[in-house]
Each structure stands twice: as structure tokens, then as C-alpha cells.
Structure 1
Amino acid sequence: MNTSKPLTCFALSTENHIAHLVLNKPEAMNTMHPTFWRELDEVLTQLHKDNAARVLVISSTGKHFSAGMALDTFSGAITMADESPEGRAAMFDSLTDMQATFTKLETLRIPVVVAIQGGCVGGAVDLVTACCIRYATADAFFCIQEINIGMVADVGTLQRLPKLIPLAVVKELAYTGRRMSAQKAQGYGLVNEVFDTPEATLAAAMQCATEIAAKPPVAIWGTKQVIHYTRDHSVDDSLKQMGWIQGAIWSNRHVMEAVGAMKGKRAADFPALSPLRDFRDLG
């Protein structure tokens, strides 16, 4: 995958159908500022359109995964105009735009696996809760930092975290701003597995991604659609949606190829998802 401009906050590579996006501003603890947000949005938009990658791995550099929103941005480019109802109303649209970037992780056509080391703070919790699978180092911790700086977490943590861990735990973290260790996060189900080092954590994420990339991309797409729909709907509605998805993407060839590959102890060969083209770009 090629981005239109060089990235300054990230490094991106794609190999063996695995896209690897690395937060690469360790000197700034990988904090989030307008450039971070813009580049992440552009990368996710392009990954969604392309079909080279079958899974996305996100990792980071330095001591901490990310310290969240860069505090100086609150007095700069994104200062909220709270002097009038009109200015406060404009916060809605600005916030919706920011929320949409992390939602792209959740709605991406491919699964997202994240390797977390050190601090995962504030906006970083918003980011990782929108991912599919989370691995962490033993020294990792999670903190809903927003309450510590006088505000409500507003880019997805309070909406997604209650669907991942017990509600009372979410309330404790959100009300107090306490840190939750990787071990507790694993016990609650937020983290899939904990490893001793960042290298081992990333290796586990890559191994998981390799296994996902070996499966039929359209079946992985369907599985992600069904899991997310089921999370937010009744069993009856979800079973109906399951029927519609299966009826839309079923492939005898894929099933026979998968079975044949298992019997022959070989790698299966499946077609990629079709690339997407924006309607406005046609013609």
C-alpha cells in the first residue's frame, strides 16, 4: 500500500498480506495531535479501499504505546469555543469527526491486532478498544486519563469498554483515573494475552495475523461483520443477519480449497477482497 504523502507519526509496511502500522514518535510518547489524527485517518481509509492486506497489526515504539492526546493541542488547534451556545454546538461536529477516525478501525474490512507496551493512556484506550485483538507487555497499563484533566473521555472509550469488561470496572477506571495493569486487563478480558517483552508481544501479534491472513478474506470479512452486529443486537436479529451474510458470501470453492489444503498439508490459496472505488471518483 502506498500513501499519497510520507508519514511523520507512523511507519507503514505490508508483507505477506499483513499491514504493519507503527507509532514512531517515541520521543513524544506517541502522543496524538492533529497530524497524528490526519495520518491515521488517511492510512485507514486507504487500507479499507485496497486489497493487499488481509489483517492490520498496530504496534508502537519507545517506553509507552501512547500517552494519548498531546496536552498542548487543547490550547492550540482544537481549543473548544465554550463562550457561546453556537461554539459549544460546534464541538459536536468536531468531536464526531475525531470519533470517526477510530471507528474506522472497528469498521475496517480486515481484522486489527494491536501490540501494547507500557502506558496506554487516554486517547490510546479509545484506539485499542476499537481493535479486534489486544496483546500487551507485562508492564503495560491502561488509564482513562481524561477525568484527571477535568473532562469526560469522548472518543470511544466509554462506549466500547463497557462491551469488553465489567461495567463496574469501567466506572471505577472512568471515575478515578486509576491505572489498570496488564494482568488485571487480561483477567477482565480486555487483553488476550500478556508477554514479558515488547518483542514477544509483537511476535504474538504477527503470529496471530499470519494465521488470519491464511484464511479466506471474504469469510474473515463476514465473521467480523457478524460479531460486531451480534454485539449490538438481539440473538434473533443476529441469527437473521447471519443468514443474510452467509447467503451473500458462501463459496463451495473456498470450502473445498480449505479442506483440500488441510488434507494435503499445504497453504490454501484464496482470492483477495475486491478493491473499493469511491463513487465520486468513477467516470
Structure 2
Amino acid sequence: MTSTNLTCFSLSIDDHIAHLVLNRPETLNTMHPTFWRELDGVLDQLHRDAQARVLVISSTGKHFSAGMALDAFGGELTLQDQTPEGRAAVFDQLMDLQSTFTRLETLRIPVVVALHGGCIGGAVDLVTAACIRYASADTFFCIQEINIGLVADVGTLQRLPKLMPMALVKELAYTGRRLGAEQAKVHGLVNEVFADAAATLAAAMQCAKEIAAKPPVAIWGTKQALNYARDHSVDDALKQMGWLQGAIWSNAHVGEAIAAFQTKRPASFPALQPLKSFREL
């Protein structure tokens, strides 16, 4: 097992499962500049080193996260609206923030989140980019941006309609109302609701354990195919599936999976290839 303590997170990797914990409960795990820098770095590490086969994200304290730290809108991060040039720069500043949560979608491994308490504002942006969402009974979701005069702009309005009915998304986005865990489950935002945070995390870790036991390259291919199918026609997605399967097919992996099943033993599969940037060569 390896573990790393950062300012806003703790990261551990054990038995091919990475567990990233938001660990600033005294600030309600709000998202200030250090949060973004550290999350970027962790996701880059997990993407490149191939040590983990699945990522679980959980949190501490009263709420999963209260979203963007309000003081982040001051000082150097102030969005300038006095000139065309300043307003044009907003595009690039937002793209930079959006890219961090997009990393969760493009990460080579699945992402499972264990939610409790409030999932507010930017936290909704984060969790909608995950693959699987488990929630405790006290979890609620709130598109908080509209309540402070903003349009949600880091992924919620783009990803949430892929997960829930558009009419409900519009209601939440226009009013800033809270959506409770049970209703979120009914409408497909969360996979399952559990009694408390401990039970929710246990379910997330069990799911992660099952994922980590599968061939990593087949999991990678499955995530690629699902994300592609979400945004393309069935015909295009079927063609992409053919190219993808042809690229990663392994008789050895299939044989190992079948043999392990028949002999009731854990299967053994190679890890994904670690990545090295061309600039590092």
C-alpha cells in the first residue's frame, strides 16, 4: 500500500484500488486553487503510472463538497468584464477549469464516487464526470451557481442531461433547488443509496474490488466504448466498437478469465502500459 497526504486530499493505493479522499472538512471541502492543482496532479499520476485499476473518490466532514470557494473569485482569479479582451479571456480560464474534471472522464480507469451530505455547485460538476455514483441517505445535490448569480459552467449543464431527464435538469438549474438522494436514484443520477457514509464507502470499495479483478485493458476499452456511444449515433458507435475490439482483443485474457472462473481462483491480468510523455524521452 502507498499513501500520500496533500493539502486538500489524501491518496492511497492498495490492491490496485486508488482511494482519493477530500480532506478539508473545516472548509466544507471547497474548491480553491490548491484543490485544482492537486487534483490535476493526482489524476495525471494515476493516468500515467497504471498502478491503480480503479479510482474511488470519497470525502470527510459534513458535506462531500460545498463547491467552489467563494473567495476564489477575488484577486488574481477575478474574471474581467470591463473589456472585450478580458471577457474573451474568460473562455480560456473556464476551459482550464473544465479540463480538470474532464480528466475524470478521460482517465484510463473507472471512477467511482461515494457521496454524503451536500454535493453543491462545483461538486456536481465533479461527480457527473464520474462513472458510478453511490450516495448516503443524507446526500443532496444543488446547482448552486444560479443562487449566486452565475450559470453553472464546469460541466454540470453538459453532463447532467446525459444522466437525468432534461426537464428535471432545467428545474434544478433554474431554481437552485436541492435534489435528495432517493430522487436522484429514481432519476438515474446515483446507482444506489445507503444508510450512511460508511456503508456508502464500503459499497464503493466493493465495486472497485470487482472492477480491479477484471482485465485492465478490457475495462479501458469498455470505458472508451461507453463514453463514445453516449455522444454518437448507434451506427457510429458500433463501428467504433469494431475498431476498438480489433485493437485490444486478447485470446490469452479470455482464456485466463475462463480458466479462473472454472477453477474458482482469482484471475491474473497484466496492468496497462505506463505512459511516458514524448517530452520526457
Q: Is the 8 A contact 2:29 2:64 kept in 1?
A: yes
Q: In the alignment, what sits opposite 1:87?
A: 86
| Alpha-carbon distance between aligned partners in 2 of 1:211 and 1:2, rounded to the nearest angstrom | 20
Kindly provide the amino acid, as one letter, of the partner of residue 18 in structure 2: A
Matched, 1:53 2:52: yes
Matched, 1:139 2:138: yes
Deviation at 1:233, TM superposition (A): 0.4
| Alpha-carbon distance between aligned partners in 2 of 1:6 and 1:199, rounded to the nearest angstrom | 21
Runs of 4+ in 1 over 3 A off after TM superposition: none
Matched, 1:149 2:136: no
| Alpha-carbon distance between aligned partners in 2 of 1:30 and 1:197, rounded to the nearest angstrom | 19
Query: Structure 2 matches for 1:1-283, cutoff 5 A?
Result: 7-282=6-281
Q: Deviations over 1:174-226 (max 9, x none)?
A: 00000000000000000000001100000000000000000000000000000
Deviation at 1:256, TM superposition (A): 0.5
Deviation at 1:6, TM superposition (A): 5.3
TM-score normalised by L of structure 2: 0.98
Deviation at 1:2, TM superposition (A): 7.6
Kindly provide the amino acid, as one letter, of the partner of residue 115 in structure 1: A
Aligned residues: 281
Unaligned runs of 5+ in 2: none
Q: Is the 8 A contact 2:229 2:237 kept in 1?
A: yes
Tell me how large the CA RMSD over aligned residues is: 1.2
Deviation at 1:257, TM superposition (A): 0.3
Unaligned runs of 5+ in 1: none
Corresponding residue SS for 2:44: helix
Q: Is the 8 A contact 2:30 2:68 kept in 1?
A: yes
Kindly provide the amino acid, as one letter, of the partner of residue 148 in structure 1: N
Deviation at 1:75, TM superposition (A): 2.0
| Alpha-carbon distance between aligned partners in 1 of 2:43 and 2:265, rounded to the nearest angstrom | 32
Q: Is the 8 A contact 2:2 2:14 kept in 1?
A: no
Deviation at 1:72, TM superposition (A): 1.1
Deviation at 1:142, TM superposition (A): 0.1
| Alpha-carbon distance between aligned partners in 2 of 1:76 and 1:122, rounded to the nearest angstrom | 21
Deviation at 1:77, TM superposition (A): 3.3
Kindly provide the amino acid, as one letter, of the partner of residue 78 in structure 1: L
Corresponding residue SS for 1:134: strand
Deviation at 1:27, TM superposition (A): 0.5
Kindly provide the amino acid, as one letter, of the partner of residue 61 in structure 1: T
Kindly provide the amino acid, as one letter, of the partner of residue 166 in structure 1: P
Q: Deviations over 1:77-129 (max 9, x none)?
A: 31111110100000111110000000000100000000000000000000000
Corresponding residue SS for 2:82: coil
